[in-house]
Amino acid sequence: MSPPEGRLPNITVTQLEYLEAVGATPTWSEAASQLGVTISALSQGLAELERRVGLPLFERQGRRRRPTPAAEVVRTHAATVLASTRDVARWARATRQGHDGGLRVGMIDAAAIHHFPDALARFRSERPDVDLRLRVAPSGALLDELSRAELDIVVCVDPGDDDRLDRRALLEEELHVYAPGDLVARPPHDRPGPWVTFPEGSHTRAIIAAALAARGDDFEVVAESNQPEVLREMVRVGMGWSVLPTWVVAQADPGPPLRAEATPLAVRPLVAVRRAGALYHPGAEALFEVLATATAGTDQ
Amino acid sequence: MSPPEGRLPNITVTQLEYLEAVGATPTWSEAASQLGVTISALSQGLAELERRVGLPLFERQGRRRRPTPAAEVVRTHAATVLASTRDVARWARATRQGHDGGLRVGMIDAAAIHHFPDALARFRSERPDVDLRLRVAPSGALLDELSRAELDIVVCVDPGDDDRLDRRALLEEELHVYAPGDLVARPPHDRPGPWVTFPEGSHTRAIIAAALAARGDDFEVVAESNQPEVLREMVRVGMGWSVLPTWVVAQADPGPPLRAEATPLAVRPLVAVRRAGALYHPGAEALFEVLATATAGTDQ
DNA sequence: CCCCATTGTTCAGCATTACTGAAGGAAATG
DNA sequence: CATTTCCTTCAGTAATGCTGAACAATGGGG
């Protein structure tokens, strides 16, 4: 039906690295110096890549070059190949040195400090052989790093369906609307707000924005932070309203209590994610088991 | 946490092709001639690959070489990279020529001739723009071709969970035990058999073997075929018993009727499968919709 | 046991490829 | 108009990949 028909274009890892670099960098010069090659090499390498793919990947716009739609396809390919190559390289280095290279785990703050600190501790005591490295960051950053094979497993807000990800549900956090203490009594015809919330681009913010829009509320944002504790304190000092997981507020330190709406505004599903097709890592599988049992039956 | 740390090893597509070829071929000489290079080139190329990975991939055994466990890891990587590269190459060629390259569909016989001929016809009339190519073969062969990016979408027996596959359930076929007409009256303490069934390696055969083992029956096989119609006829002529989807027998042509056990022995789940991370193909998505609606509510 | 065909390695030589550095063109900036 | 920035092109060089031939090791057959 579709015999391999001759040999494949010898698209090199180097060329794909070039493509990734220019995609992540404003100018080619900068990309070149980050890669440690001359602009000349970069330019020629990308020209060669275009030739091998057989389609124009960049068009001139003034003195810069801008990727064509075709480049997007090849960039996706590059991401796949580079991630897999990084995996293999890391695995080979670790194997040479006789260990497994450690397990690089990414978690959002909620997971690291609230839901899974005990699970992590248990994992470390059960599997002292695994060299665990934890990175805490927002979901988006973690997923980026996962896709570049810089992390092995990530616990974050569900990013939704994606071919390249292997997702497993862990739990759902209820998100409640919190009002500054002195505003709780606002008559019901007043709309809530303004809001303090997560920065633009945050997965949780997207969930919140959608839920507020669905019930017809404005979403004027007057302050932003990725740290839920910071948001909680801003509400406390009267900056505005916020939507937070309940545990952030329950984790009460002294100060005036916040008032919440009784019913949750939305839920935030947390999932464990790996790259689809990632190298088998025994530690990753074991960690997932621990996370799954830690949440068994205990949503929230 | 894990900065890209320098550049990646420049493992080339060519080297990975060499690795794939020697894995699929008894001797390197043969692999070399299939690839259209000298053994010398193959040997040097694989040596270079070993150097770049940094681990021995082959050990000497007599005058042949046999892959180490490490090679298996790199072979998995090779499969990923080569499949993606084939996808890009094919897409690029199609794009240059101004079409989408066609939609290469694989189906097992049951899907092609029984469950989905109407769906296929409907798809062709709804989407005359899509150049549909159909290949009918057993599940295993189709999945191999899918993994090599020689097919875009496959309808086959559910191969089970796999990172690299994007599976969607379509329907479940009931498999019933059929006895030759003259043996139906065998007293119940006699065990059924001997059997005519699908060849070793068939997914369906595995399902049948497991179900028979579970109820304690022997599974002595006296005749094999991949074609269910052939199996049905063999039962008719008294070669033995078989386990078949009901439609094969219902599709009655003249001849003595077969007697079936009343309750199904097992079910055979059929799924639509694509490679995870495959290039977006609008036709594939559309076809899946048609298949899904064709089966909506109509299991069996 | 020796012969010998087969398999894979190594080496020298050649062709191709990838890179540097210098020169140059073309757009933005002032 | 001069200047800077950005990228391309070109020439030369280093690295890489391939062929063909010589060679070593193995296993099968007389």
pLDDT digits 0-9 by tens, A58-98:
988 777 788 888 999 999 999 999 999 999 999 999 888 87
B101 band by pLDDT with thresholds 50, 70 and 90 = confident
Residue type, B185: A
Lowest mean pLDDT among A148-152, B7-11, B235-239: B235-239
**Does residue B235 surpass a pLDDT of 60?**
yes
The confidence score (pLDDT) of residue A183 equals 52
In terms of domains, do B77 and B127 share one?
A: no
pLDDT in tens, B117-155: 899 989 998 998 888 888 999 999 999 999 999 999 999
Same-domain check for residues B149 and B167: yes
Contacts of B19 in chain A (CB under 8 A): none
Q: Does any domain span residue B63?
A: yes
Per-residue pLDDT of A142-197, as tens digits, reads: 999 999 999 999 999 999 999 899 999 999 999 999 887 765 445 555 677 789 89
Element (H, E) at A77: helix A69-96
Please report the pLDDT score of residue A216 as a whole number.
87
Nearest to B12 by CA among A7, A92, A54: A7
Instruction: State whether A1 and B82 contact (CB < 8 Å).
Output: no
Average pLDDT estimate for B223-234: 83
Range from A47-61, A251-265, B68-82, B262-276 carrying the lowest mean pLDDT? A251-265
CA of A4, C1' of C26: distance in angstroms:
43
Q: Can you tell me the distance from the alpha carbon of B103 to that of A87, in angstroms, rounded to the nearest whole number?
A: 32
Collect all residues of chain B within an 8 Å Cβ-Cβ radius of residue A148: 4
Residue A209 in domain: yes
Residue A139 — pLDDT band, cuts 50, 70, 90?
very high
Partner-chain contact A55 B163, CB within 8 Å:
no
Task: Identify whether residues B164 and B179 lie together within a single domain.
Answer: no
Give domain status of residue B286, yes or no. yes
Mean pLDDT (whole number) for A261-289: 90
pLDDT of residue A72: 92
In a domain, B1, yes or no: no
Query: Of A93, A118, A134, which closes a domain?
Result: A93
Pair B150, B194 in one domain: no
- Protein CA B59 to sugar C1' C2 (Å): 29
- The CA distance from A72 to B91, in Å, is 13
Strand C at less than 7 A from CB of B49:
no
**In this predicted model, which residue has the larger pLDDT, B248 or A143?**
A143
pLDDT at B262 over 90: no
Burial group, residue B102, by CB count within 10 angstroms (0-12, 13-18, 19+): middle
Q: Are residues B248 and B199 in the same domain?
A: yes
Q: What is the DSSP letter of B56?
A: -
Domain boundary among B30, B63, B93: B93
Q: Based on the domain organization, do A228 and A256 belong to the same domain?
A: yes
Beta bridge pairs of residue B245:
B175
Q: Which long-range contacts (CB under 8 A, 24 or more apart) does A37-45 make?
A: A42/A18, A45/A14, A45/A15, A45/A18
Give the range of the structural domain holding residue A242, as residue numbers without chain letter: 172-267
Q: Sign of dihedral through CA atoms A42, A47, A48, A49?
A: positive
Residue A273 lies in a domain: yes
Q: Write down which residue in B93, B111, B143 finishes a domain.
A: B93
* Confidence bin at B54 (pLDDT 50/70/90): very high
Task: Dump pLDDT digits (tens) for A218-238.
Answer: 898 888 888 888 888 788 877
Mean pLDDT across B60-81: 88
Closest-CA distance, A84 to chain B, in angstroms, reads 6
Asked if A166's CB is within 8 angstroms of B163's CB, the reply is yes
Task: With respect to residue B2, please indicate whether it lies within any of the assigned structural domains.
Answer: no
Residue from the list A4, A8, A92 with its beta carbon closest to the beta carbon of B54: A92
Residue type for A69, please?
P
Pairing status of strand A132-136 against strand A103-107: parallel
Question: Is residue B135 located within the same domain as residue B278?
Answer: yes
Query: Which residues of chain A lie closer than 8 angstroms to B72, CB-CB?
Result: none
Give how many domains chain B has, as a whole number.
Answer: 3
Q: What is the CATH number of the domain that holds B43?
A: 1.10.10.10
Interface test with A, best of B19, B80, B100 (most A CBs within 10 A): B80
Domain co-membership, B72 together with B186: no
CB atoms B276 and A278 under 8 Å: no
CA angle B217, B221, B222 (to 5 degrees): 135
Q: Does the CB of B44 fall within 7 Å of any strand D atom?
A: yes
Residues 38-67 of A with CB under 7 A from strand C: 38, 40-41, 44-45, 48, 61-63
d(CA B145, CA A222): 55
Residue B290 has pLDDT above 80, yes or no: yes
DSSP state of B148: T
Whether residues B55 and B129 share a domain: the answer is: no
- pLDDT at residue A59 in the model: 87
CB atoms within 10 A of CB B119: 20
Lowest mean pLDDT among A173-177, B57-61, B112-116: B57-61
Residues A53, A177 share a domain: no
Q: Are B132 and B103 in contact (CB under 8 A)?
A: yes
Nearest CA in chain B to A96: B55
Task: Please report, for the domain that includes residue A163, its CATH number.
Answer: 3.40.190.10
In this complex, which of B35, B88, B95 lies closest to A77 when CB atoms are compared?
A: B88
pLDDT, tens digit, 9 for 90 and up, residues B150-201 = 999 999 999 999 989 999 999 999 999 988 766 544 555 567 778 889 988 8
Give the residue-averaged pLDDT of B52-76: 88
pLDDT at B194: 85
CATH no. for residue B255? 3.40.190.290
Q: Which residues of chain B neighbour A53 with C-beta distances below 8 Å?
A: 88-89, 92
Residue A99: the pLDDT is 79
B207-242 residues labelled b (16+ CB within 10 A) or e (exposed): bbbebbeeeebebebeebbbebeebbbbbbeebbbb
**pLDDT band (50, 70, 90) for residue B96:** confident
| Per-residue confidence band for A115, with pLDDT thresholds at 50, 70 and 90 | very high
- Looking at the domain assignment, is residue A79 inside a domain? yes
Q: Please list every residue in chain B whose beta carbon sits closer than 8 Å to the beta carbon of residue A81.
A: 80-81, 84-85
